[in-house]
Chain A
Amino acid sequence: MSNELIDLDGLGMTYAADSGPVEALSGIDLKVGRGEFVSLVGPSGCGKSTLLRIIAGLRPATRGSVRVAGRPVTRPIADVGMVFQAPILLKWRSILDNVLLPAELAGKDAGRYRDRAQHLLQTVGLGEFAAKLPRELSGGMQQRASLCRALLLDPPLLLMDEPFGALDAMTRDEMNLELLRIWGETGNAARKTVLFVTHSISEAVFLSDRIVVMTPRPGRIAAVRTVDLPRPRTVEVRASAAFGQLSLEIFRTLTGS
């Protein structure tokens, strides 16, 4: 078994739009190791969402190859948790039943996952809200529930597309800490691999092992930076000089200044 979970080689994507072809991604070479936390930052429209969809097997790339766990991706990969910018919970289902949705969709016995779902909700502080409808929860709480849904089947890979982009700064910081805790920052052999798209440089620096900086469309990899800040990442880490220095360098790469 190779050490890489994700292996992208010369990947490119051109959409056939009505107004002509749109080149969204070009020449993407990237390997992501098992248990690694990698962030993607780049201007909007540079193909970050497209890249996640290709890795999930929801859309074929038009050039190059995609491998996940050593296998070429030719159709949707089931072993993945996805979190989007909006919580997209089903309005008519309780929070618990929303978290159980992946089990039902995957044709598993949802009853066997109830305890796990309840436990996941507990770990994000939503234990008492299991029976509530989504509209009874705040945006941040709904996004926590959608994180639980992504974790239900315990996938080895999490694809997160600006998951906290719609939240206020305080809630976002809280969610960052929570995500790291769940990911197993404090040492967990079965750590998940996370590919995390964000607009926020400080969020990327705070969370990641590595940061992939992308160029405007067509998205290419402008730089890959290793974040060698100590873990667990704490508020002190965020206030450190090294944190500021790295953020500034990524900002410069991103803006080409």
Chain B
Amino acid sequence: MALFVGLIVVWQLAVSLLNIREYLLPSPMAVLRAFIEPETQWWPHLWVTTLEIIGAFVLAGGVGVALGVAIAWSPRLASALVPFLVLVNTLPKVAVAPLFLLWLGYGIVPNMLIGALIGFFPVVINTAVGLSQVDPEMLDLGRVFSAPKWKIFAKIRLPNALPYILSALKITATSAVVGAIVGEFVASQKGLGYVIITTQSSMNTPLAFGALVWVSIVGLALYGAVVAIARWAAPWAEATQ
């Protein structure tokens, strides 16, 4: 915290002492002014971007867990899915953004999809790994008592995978933010990414910084929520996180 405050002070001093022009690097005071400027209507932009980020996160988490479960459930599904997923993961997903816009048009959905596409892969991998990293002797116990496969999944494999899934979701929280902003860069009429793009022509750099502050607030809030949920849902795994 002290370091953070120190950096802000150095930044402010550097900008005023070196006389750096505002459109190149605005001072913290200028950013703050833009941030609280009543004429800037933040809410619609903030709302749209937050919605995209949360949508991307939920989609990546849901699809990621579902695919991870499918892979761990059946070797046949795994051999069908894994090569395809690896291929998708090697694509530079940012490059796919214009296609999504072409297919789905402007709006929230394509930006959500881009965020989800960037963030789902670690969830798939961690889910599949967490589901299979179970003591073989524990599985022997399951077999000795003729426990059905779903029961082993519900009582042993899924709880075992939970810390793995939660730690992947921390990465996904960050990817969702990247995806939403990139989507808005490519084409949008609203959102914090849209605000940043418009400042390119208006040279209103303090406004771009103000938007960046909002982006980090949303990103940090989501990340913090995931960390808090992880602590609450898997307290036994604290040592491994």
Contact = CB atoms under 8 A, between A and B. Distances in A.
A76 interface: yes
Given A86-B135, A88-B137, A88-B138, A106 B237 contact: no
A207 B145 CA distance: 27
A133 B236 contact: yes
Contacts, number: 60
A221 interface: no
Contacts of B147: 105-107
A118 B239 CA distance: 28
Interface in B218-241: 234, 236-237, 239
A92 B237 CA distance: 8
Nearest to A57: B144
Interface string B147-160: 10001100110011
B216 to A, nearest CB: 34
Q: Which of the listed residues B142, B144, B234 has the most CB atoms from chain A within 10 Å of its own CB?
A: B144
Interface in B154-199: 155-156, 159-160, 162
Contacts of B151: 104-105, 107
B141 A102 contact: yes
Chain B interface, >50% SS class: helix
Nearest to A102: B145
A104 B155 contact: yes
B205 to A, nearest CB: 50
Interface stretch (A1-9, A77-85, A211-219): A77-85
A223 interface: no
Given A78-B146, A105-B147, A106-B147, A92 B159 contact: yes
Interface residues of B, number: 22
A4 to B, nearest CB: 21
Interface string B113-147: 00000000000000000000001011011111111
Contacts of B234: 92
A77 B156 CA distance: 21
A76 B143 contact: yes
Contact of B155 (A56, A105, A135): A105
Contacts of A56: 140, 144
B22 to A, nearest CB: 54
Contact of B159 (A76, A78, A90, A107): A90
B141 A105 contact: yes
Nearest to B147: A105
A58 interface: yes
Nearest to B237: A91
A86 B229 CA distance: 30
B35 to A, nearest CB: 43
B92 to A, nearest CB: 38
B138 A78 contact: no
B215 to A, nearest CB: 35
A43 B135 CA distance: 24
B144 A90 contact: no
Contacts of B142: 105
A-B CB proximity, top 8 nearest:
A105-B145, A105-B147, A106-B145, A91-B236, A88-B135, A92-B236, A84-B137, A76-B143
11 contacts: A76-B143, A76-B144, A76-B146, A82-B144, A86-B137, A90-B138, A92-B237, A101-B141, A102-B141, A102-B145, A135-B239
Given A78-B145, A107-B147, 17 more contacts: A58-B144, A80-B144, A86-B135, A86-B137, A88-B137, A90-B160, A91-B237, A92-B159, A92-B234, A92-B237, A104-B151, A105-B141, A105-B142, A105-B147, A106-B145, A107-B151, A135-B236
Interface of A: 53, 56-58, 76-78, 80, 82, 84, 86, 88, 90-92, 101-102, 104-107, 133, 135
